[in-house]
């Protein structure tokens, strides 16, 4: 529908409508990365909009617009498409079909808006080149999430990934667990672990204790969570790498403890081949970690690692 090579035209930021943004979730870390990108490289792709009497309505480019506003830009580059209400929602889905473009819950919010236009779930599926069951499952996600959490997710107060982990809880309990998640600053993975602990704690008193001290409970039952919060400057791939490094550190500590256990003496003979493979994997990883550290230090020395 648009491409990086398509020329846009300047348009005042103040007259770009964002009503369709009610189906998108503000994620401050992503907006901050977009802000840094715009400041460094400028706007490389125009926003996609639809015409309206008082200006234009934004269809694609919510992070870019938010970042541009934060930078104080008076205008951004846009392209205008002749789309009705149904076409606008469908275009939002089609333009965000790539990996990491739209969360499952955001897709669900857009699909629900399409159903509200009067289409059946079968018709929505045909419009999106998907089966009705795909539409039904996603709309069901939003229907199962407490309305207050849907709004918190849209405002960026609750990570969409964390919201999805709360779906296995009854609506009333979703609120109390979410409050603990937000106050402790837990990410999606830790939220999943906390929900699991909540399900296993059958007594009300145990659940209250769990939610009053969520991080302490996680550290007690899941030692691998003993880590600092992820750096918001990291890209999604960088965050995954960071989590992998945390898991590796925890696994290495646990493996070392078990290797040194007196009870493992006989077992080590049986595990000779597994120990050999593990040693080779550790050697390869040690080499790669050394190269990564050297590369990172070089980047800092030549200025490439500085903040913009």
Q: What span, in angstroms and rounded, lies between the C-alpha atoms of 207 and 199?
A: 9
Q: What is the pLDDT of residue 98?
A: 65
Q: What span, in angstroms and rounded, lies between the C-alpha atoms of 194 and 214?
A: 7
Q: pLDDT 10s digit of each residue in the chain, 308 long? A: 554 456 789 999 999 999 999 898 888 888 999 999 999 999 999 999 999 887 899 999 999 999 999 999 999 999 999 999 899 999 998 888 765 578 888 899 999 999 999 999 999 999 888 899 999 988 988 888 999 998 888 887 888 888 889 999 998 899 999 999 988 888 888 999 999 999 999 899 999 999 999 988 898 888 766 655 667 777 878 877 887 887 787 777 778 777 776 566 778 778 888 888 888 888 888 888 888 877 654 444 444 343 33
Q: What span, in angstroms and rounded, lies between the C-alpha atoms of 220 and 200?
A: 14
CA torsion 154-160-162-166 (nearest 10°) is 80
* Cβ pair 188, 165 in contact under 8 A: yes
Cβ neighbours of 235 (radius 10 Å) = 12
Give phi and psi for 205, each to the nearest 5. -65, -45
pTM equals 0.58
Q: What is the pLDDT of residue 78?
A: 95
The domain locations on the chain are: 10-144, 157-225
Match domain 10-144 to its CATH number in 3.30.450.40, 3.90.1530.10, 1.10.10.10, 3.40.30.10.
Answer: 3.90.1530.10
Q: What span, in angstroms and rounded, lies between the C-alpha atoms of 246 and 226?
A: 9
Q: What is the pLDDT of residue 266?
A: 75
């Amino acid at each position: 529908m648009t491409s990086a090579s398509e020329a846009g035209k300047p348009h005042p930021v103040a007259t770009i409508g964002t009503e369709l943004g009610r189906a998108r979730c503000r994620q401050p870390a992503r907006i901050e990365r977009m802000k840094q990108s715009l400041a460094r490289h400028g706007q490389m792709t125009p926003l996609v909009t639809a015409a309206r009497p008082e200006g234009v309505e934004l269809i694609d480019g919510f992070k870019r617009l938010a970042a541009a506003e934060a930078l104080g830009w008076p205008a951004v580059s846009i392209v205008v498409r002749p789309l009705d209400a149904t076409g606008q929602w469908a275009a939002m889905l089609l333009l965000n079909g790539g990996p990491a473009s739209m969360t499952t819950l955001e897709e669900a919010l857009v699909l629900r808006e399409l159903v509200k236009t009067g289409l059946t779930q079968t018709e929505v599926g045909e419009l999106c080149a998907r089966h009705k069951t795909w539409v039904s499952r996603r709309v069901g996600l939003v229907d199962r999430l407490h309305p207050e959490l849907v709004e918190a997710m849209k405002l960026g107060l609750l990570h969409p990934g964390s919201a999805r982990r709360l779906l296995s809880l009854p609506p009333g309990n979703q609120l109390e667990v979410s409050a603990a998640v937000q106050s402790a600053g837990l990410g999606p993975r830790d939220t999943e672990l906390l929900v699991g602990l909540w399900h296993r704690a059958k007594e009300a008193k145990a659940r209250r204790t769990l939610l009053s001290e969520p991080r302490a409970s996680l550290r007690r039952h899941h030692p691998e969570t003993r880590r600092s919060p992820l750096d918001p400057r990291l890209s999604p791939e960088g965050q995954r790498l960071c989590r992998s490094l945390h898991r590796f550190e925890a696994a290495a500590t646990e493996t070392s403890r078990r290797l040194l256990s007196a009870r493992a003496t006989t077992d080590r003979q049986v595990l000779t081949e597994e120990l050999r493979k593990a040693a080779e994997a550790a050697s390869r990883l040690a080499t790669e970690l050394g190269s990564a550290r050297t590369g990172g230090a070089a980047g800092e020395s030549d200025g490439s690692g500085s903040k913009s």
